[in-house]
Amino acid sequence: MNEVYEIAVQVQASEGDQRQMVGTAGICRYCGCQDSRKFKKVAHTFPEALGNKWVMSVDECDSCNGKFSVYEDALAKAVGPFLTLGGVKGKKGIRQTGRSQSNSKIRHSMEGGRRRISIRAESGGVGIDPATGNMKAVIGVKGDKFVPLLAYKALCKMGLALLPEKELGNFGKLIAWIGDPGSGADMVPLEVGASFALIGNSPPLVTGTLLRRKAPDDPLPHMVFVFCSGSVCLQIRLRPDKLDNHVVPDGGLGIRWTNALAAEEGGIVKIGYGLPIQWDWSSDESVLQPVESFVLDFDPETTHGSLTPVMRK
C-alpha cells in the first residue's frame, strides 16, 4: 500500500481520549450555510451508533446533520450483527440484533464486569470442540432491513468530513449527491470492501483514514476512505469529479487493514482485519442486512474467538 498510496488524513480515538474537533467552524462544508444559529447540535464525524464518542465536526450544520442521521441509521443496521458481537457501545449501549420476540437474535451484555453473548437461532447448529473446549456455532441471523444506498452515503459523508479543505473542490458532485436524500445511484456500482477482526473482545476504537494515490496517472482511485469500528472495517473509494476518469469504475477494494492501539499495560496491540469481501450498495430498495449467518469459533469463558460471516446470495 505504501508504494501507491499515502495517508492524507487519519483520525483515531478510543476510551479515555479527549474530544477531537474536525473541520473549520463558520461554514457548513456540505451546503455552505453560514448562519451561526444553525450549528447548535453536536455533529458526530462518525456515527455514535458505531461507537464514536470522541470525534466531532464543527462544520456540519443542523440541517445536514438531520439528513445524515438517516444515512447513519441505515449503516448501523447494515453492520448491526458485528456491532452486537463486538460489544460496540452506541448512544443507548450495545446494539442488540434481532427483535425481542424473534426466534433469531443475538444479545451482548456485561455481567459482573465480564462480557456475555447470548444467541438464539432458528437455523444452524452449536457444538463444543472436545479438543479445545471452544464453542463452534453456525448461527442464522435475520437482523434488520436497511437501504444500501443510504448506508453508502453515510460512508461517503464520513470520508468527506475528513477531506483537507484544498481537496474539497475536487468532490463537488459527490458533496451535492449526498446532500440530496432523493438522489439515486448515478455512480454505479457503489462498492464497499468489508473485513472483520475480533468479536467479544473488540476494543472501543474508531478510526477514519483517507488514502491518497501517490501517482496521478496510476489506474487506481484517487482517494480511498477506510473506517473501522471495533471488529468491522469498511472501505470505499471517494469519487472525485474528474481525477478518476482513467480509472475502471467497478474495481474492487482489497486493502488489508491493521490498526495499532496502545495497551493499558504498555506496548502496542495490533488489530488485523482480513481480506475484504465486496458488497454492492447501489440499491435504493430496503433489504435484509448482508449477513445470512455466522460461523463462530470462540472460548465461552473469555469470548475471544474468530468470526466468519456468510453473506446472503
Q: Nearest-CA neighbor of 149 among 49, 285, 48?
A: 285
C-alpha cell at 85: 458481537
The CA-atom distances, in angstroms, between 284 and each of 49, 153, 184 are: 22, 11, 7
- In order along its 313 residues, the chain shows pLDDT tens digits of 568 999 999 999 887 788 999 999 999 999 999 999 999 999 999 999 998 999 999 999 999 999 999 999 999 999 887 777 666 665 665 555 544 445 555 555 555 655 555 555 555 567 787 888 887 777 777 668 999 999 999 999 999 999 999 999 999 999 999 999 888 877 668 999 999 886 555 677 899 999 999 999 999 999 999 999 988 899 999 999 999 999 987 777 889 998 887 766 677 878 888 889 999 999 999 999 998 887 777 787 776 766 677 888 7
Give this prediction's pTM.
Answer: 0.85
CB 169 within 8 A of CB 178: no
Asked if 171 and 225 touch (Cβ cutoff 8 Å), the reply is: no
String of b and e for 109-123 (b: at least 16 CB within 10 Å)? eeeeeebebebebee
What pLDDT is attached to residue 80? 83
Cell numbers given for 103: 426466534
- Write the CA distances from 146 to 79, 118, 152, 156, 287, integer angstroms: 10, 24, 11, 17, 6
Nearest partner of 75 among 15, 179, 149, judged by Cα? 149
CB burial of residue 235 (10 Å; 0-12, 13-18, 19+): buried
Residue 44 has phi, psi (to 5 degrees) of -80, 125
Give the count of beta carbons closer than 10 Å to the beta carbon of residue 131.
6
Q: Cis link prior to 240 (omega < 30° from 0)?
A: no
Domain boundaries, the chain: 5-311
Q: What are the cell numbers at 208?
A: 477514519
